[in-house]
Amino acid sequence: MSEEDEFELEPIEILELPLDAWHRDKGARMVEFAGYHMPIQYEGIMAEHIWTRENAGLFDVSHMGQLMLTGEGAAEALEAMVPGDISALKEGKMRYSLLLGEDGGILDDMMITAVPMGLYVVVNGAVKWDDMGYLREHLPDEITINHMDDRALLALQGPKAVDALVRVVPGVDALYFMEAGSFFWGPKTDPEPLWISRSGYTGEDGFEISVPAAHAKALADQICAQPEVKPIGLGARDSLRLEAGLPLYGHDMNPDIDPVEASAAFAVSKRRRAEGGFFGSDRILNGLANGPARKLVGLSVEGKMPVREGAPVFAGDTQVGVITSGGFGPSVGAPIAMGYIDAGHNATGSMLEAEVRGKRVSVTVSSLPFIPHHYHRKGAQT
């Protein structure tokens, strides 16, 4: 055996989602993402983006990890690793939170919902195995972690999402933003239970639907049969979330960054600020009190040239930051970006320059989101 053969790596298997054939039948261009074949686009990123903003788009997000934490004291135990007030969550209510390393760095962002069995937690697909191992390591043995890998996850997003989904699953219109519940779908003689939340990753009103993988195709077919709905790929999902100022884990957040730096201080609940006691609480509470040395901000880009992840940002000859997400914002009609900018240069309106292919491009620190959120909040005027 030669030295080359000895160190040859086995190819990593790319997995298929339950709807893999469904995407291909609809003409999707498939790419590898988070270890899965996933649809990046169907008819085109720009058209799919605009369709979602104006109508409703169906996204397959089954690569994400759906976990169920059960056992007495699960919420209190999880609070050692997240900065949110999880034990106060009432059944059917959701909270966005952050999984923290022991030093307060962000290992993942997640959605946590109080359900009759315990806590339903949705984590990012690219790090779900790491998350499960970390939770198992730090949660007490009496807390059970069930990876619900027999379920698919669909997201229906856009201003007409409720009109379409209520025909398929009656009653979902009763949910408000960040609420969830169990609904029945299918024939009355043999209905299928779905877990549906009013939430999403586009800045628009919408729903996320957990369905047994065996029934995902039938549900996707029925939703896409509604005149408001088209299937939408990962490309438009990224431009939609960027316009909405929503971070992508592994790009805008990572283990070196804490919640205050990530402009996610809202995820540190009032009780936890007062009590501390979570991983990295000293670092995070100090950042809240004194301000972070760098901060995630929005950046408007002058001209038509997009600035991409990794581009350095300068104030004069001094580098003061780096781009973490960037691209064209179809609804904004211009290139936009997010990035980490040092204190003293990250106030809204600050004029800086990004370096793209050796050329300087003018950028201006912008408030987030780039376009308003349209969530269906309780008490909000419609």
CA distances for 225 relative to 58, 222, 244, 337, angstroms: 11, 5, 27, 35
The C-alpha torsion from 159 through 160 and 162 to 168, rounded to 10°, is -150
Q: Which helix (DSSP H) or strand (DSSP E) does residue 78 occupy?
A: helix 74-78
Residue at token pair 């805008």: 252
Task: Centre a 10 Å sphere on the Cβ of residue 364 and count the other Cβ atoms it contains.
Answer: 14
CA distances for 264 relative to 257, 369, 378, angstroms: 11, 13, 22
Please say whether the dihedral angle defined by the alpha carbons of residues 361, 362, 367 and 372, taken in this order, is positive or negative.
Answer: negative
- Across the strands, what pairs with 335? 328
Return d(Cα 263, Cα 200) in angstroms, integer. Answer: 19
Query: Could you tell me which of 100, 337, 116, 93 has the C-alpha nearest to residue 239?
Result: 337
Give CA angle at 164 (159, 170), nearest 5°.
120
- On whether 243 is known to bind a ligand per the annotation, the reply is no
Query: Could you tell me which of 7, 9, 20, 14 has the C-alpha nearest to residue 220?
Result: 20
Which residues define the annotated binding site?
208
**Residue numbers belonging to the annotated binding site for substrate:** 208
